[in-house]
Structure 1
Amino acid sequence: MTVCHEHYHALHADMRLALDACAHQLDHSFYAYDLDGLDSHLATLKQAQAKLWFAVKANPVSAVIQSLAAQGFGFDVASPGELNQVLAQGVSPDRILNTGPVKTPAMLREFLQKGVRIFVLESHQQVHDLEAEAKRLDLSVDVLLRVQLPWPKSDDGSINVLGGSDPTPFGLTPEQWLPTEIQFSERLQLRGVHCFQWGNILDADELIANWQGAMPRLAALLDAWQIAEPVVDLGGGLGIPYTGQSDVIDWQQVCTALAQLKQQYNLGECWMELGRYAVGPYGYYVSRVADVKQNQGVTFVVIEGGSQHALRPALTNQAFPVQPLHASEAAPLPVQIHGSLCTGLDCLGKLSLPGDVKRDDWLVFSQAGAYGFTESMPFFLCHSLPAEVTLRGAELTVVRPAAPAASYLA
């Protein structure tokens, strides 16, 4: 079951005013994060019978991390950079989970030295490396095993961004994680398993079916290790609607399913690592129109920013919803929105805008609070970096100003 919100992407009047003030002050493309909206949303997530972690890759902005920390989230970090950013916000290292397909000995040593004690292991090599580093520092740590399940293709043959039915570098099969294949020293305390192979799902029934399909195989592995009250980390995968979508996943249905899984399989805890579902709807990318032109029957709207600031549409062929900052009553016109890069790949979508869109109008791309600027390619063609601002009440804070290429060129 899904929940339909026809006006899910509509900008309310106060947000329009706030973004308009940002545009006038900055006079440059920018990202804006609605911290009040984020706080309200995060408070509703606490009803889940699960430990919630935030996937920092979705948005590592300091103020966003601070909001999540205040709401009790843990933090899923996959690099020393993410680790140091989270620690810099005053988060205790016991609220940090280390994930990721690459964990070199030096990285593991840094995480251990800075107090992290929970790791998701993706290979036998990572087991050996973590054991060696833990022994070197005379520590014991908790670990989960990342499991990759052979998965049937969907009816339409599609797969998700994590690989779906195809092999990926994430984790190992249950058979490779059996006690007959790998052993652990006393330095590593095996607490459970991690399994996440689905992405941006809007239908709770589909997500729950994935969980139910995975759990028997995960439970068999846990039984082989005889783990009492194990942890099962189901990752994330809860989606938010982009252009052409209007459904919003039913959070209450997700919570009910988690409680049922925990009881059915005698789990100690369920964990989830939320990224876009936690923060995505509370961010906006705003850029000014530089040109509007017709070419071979197509209307092109060219903006000052583009894929160097917001690459996701080009990566996924799925656009952020867009609308003019200033409301218009003009009839909609199909357009292609392109950015400032010298490549046809710099396309933010084939969308509709009011037919009176013109140069110097500002466009607002919503659902951009996750996988926005830090998923992009900011250095290509040596354009300026976008600014980032936070909005809380009537207060606008520039957390990172726009910066020219001279700020990063060697």
Structure 2
Amino acid sequence: MQQSSDSERPVSWHQQFQQSKALEQALLNHVSDNIDELAYFVYDLNALKSHLHFLQNQDVVKLWYAVKANPLSRIIQTVDQASIQFDVASSGELQQVLNQGVDAKRILNTGPAKSRAQLAEFLAKGVNTFVAESPNQLKWLNELATEFSVKPEVLLRVQLQWPDGEKNPLGGNQVTPFGMSVEAWQKYHVSQFPQLNICGLHIFQWGNMLSNKKMYDLWQQMVEPLVTLSQSIGMTLKVLDLGGGLGIDYHEQGEQLDWQDIIADLAKVKKQANVEELWLELGRYAVANCGYYVTSVVDKKVNFDQQQLVLSAGINHLLRPGITEQPFPVRLLRPSMEVNANFDLHGPLCTSLDKLGCLPLPIDVDVDDRLLFGYVGAYGFTESMPFFLCHQTAAEYVFSGHELILVREAKPAQWYLA
């Protein structure tokens, strides 16, 4: 495949929304007869298909979709149609992907907590590619491979430490449960696990990177220690899995990554490491841009000279701002010609943690207005905390063609309370 032209570069969520007049009109006109629908997610499948085609239009890297970003059935089906593979980290994710008709041979099992029972379940369901995080996982896989008469492909996950106190959401220089150090893996040899095809290394411990240069520098630093490790343990290094971590410009500071530069950098890394395949596990970068979240203003006030809006829902539906201090960008759904002011956006929970950010909105925003949050295709519904204070769950819709389609309806607290 040939690389896409610059003119096909993905646009920001504002541009994408403005270009989709049909979606805008559908949201403006949307009124649910479900009294429990105080907020909803909507995923633009038209935009997602276009974006995935853009990402696939290259021949340098094999793409996997990290299902943790958004496991909705219609999202998985759209990813499947783009011929992207699937990275799953739990039995629930595995079954959800299989339920969409995906071949188990296109599934990679990641995640730090792989018990022997879980590994057996994955093998029984036809999964043949695994990331091993520990010697125990290698031992169990080797035993199970004998029982199942298979020889699964296995990548060892390596954890590096970076100079100058490099920090990131997956640990930075902290010791995490994700894989082991080069020194720890060097105590083992691939010949100890004859039933496994140990053919690659997995390295990923950064998140939401927004600098092409910084990402390339990190990738380059990894090559030498990983190649050295593969040689010392008797591995023929065929696959290098660089994980994900490609960022989204939540703060809207003009820091969008350039996919063309990423592909060019990866081609250099592939040559430097001398591997047959490079893998990337995209979650946020694959689906964030297609998703929106809509909720309404319940109250408006000025408190200690600070403008405040209280919303129908907050971190009970959008937890990510509360744990990363990266708010999802927002706009007023209806048109307004007024100037913007910064508003603190709070949800309904009885905790000061329930804050979606301090963000600019037109000064005429008022009670009953609807707000539209962007980049919510990833880490929205299934990363939320809907049970605290017994509020309603959010609904989920997809926009396909020119139609808004309900996939999951909003539910009252009685749906999950015992």
Please give the range of the TM-score, normalised by the shorter of the 2 chains. Answer: over 0.9
- Check conservation: 2:13, 2:375, Cα contact below 8 A: no
**1:286 deviation in Å?**
0.6
CA distance in structure 2 between the partners assigned to 1:138 and 1:367 by the alignment: 44
**Bigger CA drift: 53-62 or 145-154?**
145-154
What is the Cα deviation at residue 378 of structure 1? 1.1
Q: 1:33 is matched with which residue: 15, 32, 43?
A: 43
Among 10, 14, 27, the residue aligned to 1:9: 14
Q: Report the equivalent of 2:3.
A: none
1:138 positional shift: 2.8
Q: Which residue does 2:210 correspond to in 1?
A: 202
User: What is the 5 A alignment of 1:96-115?
Assistant: 96-115=107-126
One-letter amino acid of the counterpart of residue 47, structure 2: G
Q: 1:114/1:407 Cα in 2 relative to 1: closer, same or farther (>3 Å)?
A: same
Q: What are the residue-to-residue correspondences of 1:10-409 with 2, within 5 Å?
A: 10=15, 11-12=17-18, 13-24=21-32, 28-46=38-56, 47-153=58-164, 159-178=167-186, 180=188, 184-228=192-236, 230-409=238-417
Within 2, Cα distance between the matches of 1:234 and 1:313? 26
Q: Given residue 73 of structure 1, which amino acid in structure 2 is its aligned partner?
A: I
Contact 2:65 2:85 in 1 (8 A): yes
Q: Deviations over 1:54-109 (max 9, x none)?
A: 00000000111111111111100000000000000000000000000000111111
Residues of 2 paired with 1:370 and 1:393: CA distance?
A: 21
Say which is worse superposed, 183-192 or 44-53, in terms of deviation: 183-192
Query: Gapped runs of 5+ residues in structure 1?
Result: none
Aligned CA distance change for structure 1 residues 172 and 229 (closer, same or farther; 3 Å): closer
Unpaired segments ≥5 residues, structure 2? 1-5
How far, CA to CA, are the matches of 1:6 and 1:106 in structure 2? 44
Alpha-carbon offset, residue 23 of structure 1: 4.5
Paired AA for residue 41 in structure 1: H
CA distance, structure 2, for counterparts of residue 162 and residue 229 of structure 1: 25
Given that 1:16 and 1:326 are in contact with CA atoms closer than 8 Å, whether structure 2 keeps it comes out as no
Residues of 2 paired with 1:17 and 1:222: CA distance? 55
The amino acid that maps onto 2:325 is N
Q: Tell me, yes or no, if the aligned pair for 2:138 and 2:193 is still in contact at 8 Å.
A: no
> How many positions carry a matched residue from both structures?
406
SS in 2 for 1:120: strand
The one-letter amino acid paired with 1:133 is L
How big is each residue's C-alpha offset from its partner over 1:295-326, in whole Å with a ceiling of 9 and x where there is no partner?
12111101101101000011111110000100
Structure 2 counterpart SS, 1:248: coil
Considering only aligned residues, what root-mean-square deviation do their CA atoms show, in Å? Answer: 1.9
Offset of residue 180 of structure 1 = 4.4
Give the Cα separation in 1 of the matches to 2:415 and 2:254: 40
The whole-number CA distance in structure 1 between the counterparts of 2:203 and 2:10 is 30
